[in-house]
Chains A and B, each alone.
Chain A
Amino acid sequence: MAGVPQRLRTTWREVPLARHLVLAAIGLVLVAFTLPAVGDFRATQLTELAYIALAAAGLTVLTGLNGQLSLGHGALMAVGAYTTALLLDERDAGPPLVLVVLAAVAATLAVGVVVGVAAARLHGPYLAGATLAMAVAVPGIAVHFRDQLGGEQGLRTYTPEIPGWAADAAYYLTGSDPSRSTYVAFLAWATLLLGLVLLANLARSRTGRRWAAVRDDEVAAELAGIHLGRARVSAFAVSAAAAGAAGAMLAIADRNVAPGAFNLNLSMTLVAVVVLGGLGSLTGAIIGAAVLTLLVSFGPGLGRSLGLDDLASEQVAPLVAGLVTVAVILLAPRGLAGIAQGRLAARRARRAYTSAPSSDGGSPPSSSTPAGSGSAGTSTAVSTPTGKGTP
């Protein structure tokens, strides 16, 4: 690391945007080179991975960072998806795609604020119940407004044309014209990466710190001048916006938006992704989404190779997903991202220890006495740094 200029390292450490943008750019380049090579089937799967990861990223901010549970994020995806479908109906070319996605985000954000205001008053199981009700009720709305929202059949979504410059760029990079699936997958991944950058910025900002404070101790957060309701509603709204963007990608990818796609299963999948990846971890959201979507694609094949019939093979994926989730909760409560992070932290600590073994000699290994029991020995050991701590 000696070759890296000090200023660059300071920037890397202190400017979250620099970090996040560099990581996102690397991701985008990887995606740009991977997608054309994998074929339409895998591209479609990668699209699903992207929008599940995006919605889960929103959920992990809400649950992990702000401590609010939502079992109804699938319903919020539905809001984004239906908004997209209504704007991209079959009639004509429709508005530019960027505007469509922004409108989907705005609509879901608005719904998120309304739900968030209600959620801010609820805790624990009550919040879970209310959001669960949302997951069940929202698809019903689509069925009820048959004329506007297409009922059980849903709405067809107009397929956006690949813009000329994008096709040219793809041809320049890969030597072949991109297929529609590749294009949609690229859209979904670009949206995911943009969403992750914004969410990571927020999590690293004053806003994220306020959300975490409200999660950890309401009274202390209030005394620090934080309005509990505002913090909760803003977290819900941001989380909903991510789900809305994910819903828009789903609508574009599936070319059809129907209530069946937003059943309870979707909401539960999002929760499972968050738990699997690690509560509050954005990287975890991608890892969790990857594990679960891959399971769905490999499950049936695995079942058939084990000699199961088609019907039973279909159930292999949910079974394995459930087992994996339970195993992660039992063995690694901080999720798959938590495992990686723990390894990294341990290695860093080891390196710091070997490079400067005597610098932190006073760190009390066993002095974490429980509250109230300040025994004379530990207390003097702890109070001595008072003098030398202030230079």
Chain B
Amino acid sequence: MSASGSTTAPDSRADTSAPVLELHDVTVRFGGLTALDSVGLAARPGVVHGVIGPNGAGKTTLFNVACGFVRPTSGTLLHRGAPRARFLPHQLAGLRVARTLQGLGLFDRLTVLDNVMVGADRTARSTFWGGLLSTPGSWRDERAVRDRAMAQLEELGVAQHAGRYPSSLPYPVRKRVALARALVSEPELLLLDEPASGLSSDEMDELAGLVEGLTDRMGVLLVEHHMDLVMRVCDEITVLDFGKVIAHGTPAEVQTDPAVLAAYLGEDVA
């Protein structure tokens, strides 16, 4: 946890010092299984922070704690330096934290545009009564939300699919739609859950460029299996094994860390 200052992320913004999300000494136990064991982590704006580790190391649990889907057995969560007693998933968007899901979780019976408009719900202003009576204010707000969603789709190059349903689109396009849905809420921190799974190497290159381009607007917390992607885009990396942080530092530091090599290549190396 104390390693917060060690990274040298190039960033121009002034408020980068306060992490958007911090986990302090977080432990999660499922019955007898300790999924996370006093894990600490800080996700700062402008920084791409990778979380790696072998299967079952606790990466997904870590994400779920950060999103409020799993309550830690002990430990604290901080948002912008302020401790949060209780963290509920639906509050996340309001805290300017967005997350993509491993299974994408697109709304299958909504069009691509509507999917992204749901993502923009945080910025929508129209009320239940405005919608019921279809007041001018409500449809003006709808138009603003639709324009914002459309712009996001254009930015990711999938605007031509706005009227289609997700199930009719190829997987890489759907991934972009899911990313657009997360980005349209203008988060300060984006949690990416295995963004490279199912992508070809070309598409992974594009993804890397995309993630690198996000850092002037937000911080990124990334769980990923593909080492080349992680090493390329991450500014700092936290390595988990059996629920414990075994290493933390820059990609170069982590790559040469004996504990990491041991975890990935087997006990013999250590």
User: Chain A residues in contact with chain B, CB under 8 A?
Assistant: 14-17, 20, 198, 201-202, 204-210, 212-213, 215-217, 219-228, 234, 360, 364, 367-376, 378-380, 382-383, 385-387, 389-391
With A and B bound together, what is the CA distance between A210 and B93 in angstroms? 14
Choose from B132, B156, B159, B170 the contact partner of A367 (Cβ within 8 Å).
Answer: B170
| B199 interface contact, C-beta 8 A | yes
Inter-subunit contact B99/A223 (CB<8 Å): yes
| B5 interface contact, C-beta 8 A | no
Which residues of the other chain, A, contact B143 by a CB distance below 8 angstroms?
Answer: 14
- 22 A-B pairs with CB atoms under 8 Å apart are A17-B134, A201-B134, A205-B130, A205-B142, A206-B138, A207-B132, A208-B131, A209-B121, A213-B107, A221-B107, A222-B89, A223-B101, A224-B185, A225-B185, A227-B90, A228-B90, A373-B171, A374-B172, A378-B170, A379-B172, A383-B172, A390-B159
With A and B bound together, what is the CA distance between A380 and B172 in angstroms? 10
**Given known A205-B132, A224-B118, contact A372–B198 (CB-CB < 8 A):** yes
Inter-subunit contact B200/A219 (CB<8 Å): no
Closest to B182 in A: A223
| B220 interface contact, C-beta 8 A | no
With A and B bound together, what is the CA distance between A360 and B162 in angstroms? 13
Which residues of the other chain, A, contact B139 by a CB distance below 8 angstroms?
Answer: 14-17
Which residues of the other chain, B, contact A224 by a CB distance below 8 angstroms?
Answer: 93, 118-119, 121-122, 181, 185
With A and B bound together, what is the CA distance between A214 and B167 in angstroms? 17
With A and B bound together, what is the CA distance between A80 and B9 in angstroms? 63
Which residues of the other chain, B, contact A376 by a CB distance below 8 angstroms?
Answer: 200, 202
User: Chain B residues in contact with chain A, CB under 8 A?
Assistant: 67, 69, 89-94, 98-99, 101, 105-110, 114, 117-119, 121-122, 124, 126, 128, 130-134, 138-139, 141-143, 145, 154-160, 167-173, 181-182, 185, 197-200, 202-203, 206
Q: Could you tell me the distance in whole angstroms from the C-beta of B151 to the nearest C-beta in chain A?
A: 10
**Given known A372-B198, A382-B172, contact A220–B105 (CB-CB < 8 A):** yes
> A-B pairs with the 4 shortest C-beta distances?
A205-B131, A225-B93, A17-B134, A386-B157
Known: A208-B131, A385-B160. 10 other contacts (CB 8 A): A14-B139, A17-B133, A204-B131, A204-B134, A205-B130, A205-B138, A220-B181, A226-B121, A234-B128, A374-B170
Choose from A207, A372, A379 the contact partner of B131 (Cβ within 8 Å).
Answer: A207
Inter-subunit contact A209/B118 (CB<8 Å): yes
